[in-house]
Amino acid sequence: MGSFASTTFLLGALALGALASGACSSDDAAAEPASESKGPAAGEPNATEPGTTPGAPEPPASASITSDAGDAGHAGCDGCAPPSNPKTYRLPWSKGTSMQLTQDCNDSCCSDHVGNDEYAWDWANGSSFVVRAARTGTITHLKINSTKGCATTACSTDVNMIVVDHGDGSQAIYMHVAGNTAAPGITCGAKVVQGQPLAMAGTTGHSTGVHLHFQVSQVHAGAPKCECGTDGKQCSTTFNPFPNAWVNGPYHTLPVVFDEWATASTCNDRRMTMPGALSQ
């Protein structure tokens, strides 16, 4: 898998055709009671993404975000366009990248985007892609040293994730990102701006296909931060990040309005081609 933000026409057509013929994705094997916190072994989503192969390999650790022609000038986000509104969200991938919604919020598919985790979305396009910051904030949790994923909850704690605190009590979680693909300037404690490259989409943790799981939830008051160090690698690849960042009764997901997709939180078991992203 190449580290690029925009697929060629042929690759995009093949990926979209494969996705369109696929079945619904899954983020967890069991329903989460609305009042319970997910445990260490079943904390993060699983997705069998249409158009992907179970057990598909991660993008190579050498994948370089900045080698993407669409990301020229974005190292540390130098030259990033300013956000239209610092309190709004943009779709978290590059302009010109074709993307499919493979699991909706409050989706009946797989008993996981429900309850406390109602407002969550899975996106895929049949390949890896650059994950960008949906909104400006500060990275408070970063784990990016795992390269493992599988179809069972045995791999749940192998997940990589980036959590960005927006400073207003909300945080965005970017999950299943590929191992060792943090973009330049992406460290725990660093501020990121809307549209800035974060990492490459991957299939780490309870996941069987390359995709991005995204949600916005409430910040856990007083929780430890940067548990895996500033580079996101100073912990075991099976370190469990969920108690400090994942949803539970008091800390549930929140509805989101994206600049490009105002109806995001009108959940309806949708499977659709996403609107074009605005971020360069």
Looking at residue 87, its pLDDT comes to 72
- The predicted-structure confidence for 112-136, as pLDDT tens digits, reads as follows 999 999 999 999 999 999 999 999 9
What is the pLDDT averaged over residues 68-95? 59
Beta strands 205-206 and 149-150 are parallel
Q: Could you tell me the pLDDT band of residue 14, with boundaries at 50, 70 and 90?
A: very low
Does residue 184 contact residue 231 with C-beta atoms inside 8 Å? no
Residues 6+ away with beta carbon under 8 Å from 151: 46, 48, 54, 55, 206, 208
Residues 6+ away with beta carbon under 8 Å from 86: 135, 136, 194
Given a cut of 50, is residue 56 above it in pLDDT? no
Given a cut of 70, is residue 23 above it in pLDDT? no
Looking at residue 280, its pLDDT comes to 85
Span between the terminal Cα atoms of the chain, in Å: 21
Beta strands 100-103 and 272-273 are antiparallel
Distance CA 244, CA 208 (A): 25
Which position has the higher pLDDT, 90 or 66? 90
Per CATH, the homologous superfamily of domain 1-280 is Glucose Permease (Domain IIA) (2.70.70.10)
Which ranges of 80-126 does DSSP label H, i.e. alpha helix?
none
Neighbour-count burial of 247, counting CB atoms closer than 10 A to its CB (0-12 exposed, 13-18 middle, 19+ buried): buried
Rg (CA), the chain: 16
Distance CA 210, CA 55 (A): 9
Q: Could you tell me the pLDDT band of residue 248, with boundaries at 50, 70 and 90?
A: very high
- Return the percentage of the chain with pLDDT > 90, whole number: 66
- The predicted-structure confidence for 260-271, as pLDDT tens digits, reads as follows 999 999 999 999
Lowest mean pLDDT among 33-47, 77-91, 170-184, 209-223: 33-47
What amino acid occupies position 244? Answer: N
The token duo for 246 is: 């994942």
Residues in a beta bridge with 213: 122, 175
Q: Could you tell me the pLDDT band of residue 86, with boundaries at 50, 70 and 90?
A: low
Looking at residue 254, its pLDDT comes to 96
Exposure string over 128-152, b if 16+ CB within 10 A, otherwise e = bbbbbbbbbbbbbbbbbbbbbbbbe
- Lookup result for tokens 């309850």: 115
- Return the percentage of the chain with pLDDT > 70, whole number: 69
What does the DSSP 8-state code read for residue 188?
A: T
If residue 131 lies in a helix (H) or strand (E), which one and from where to where?
Answer: strand 130-132
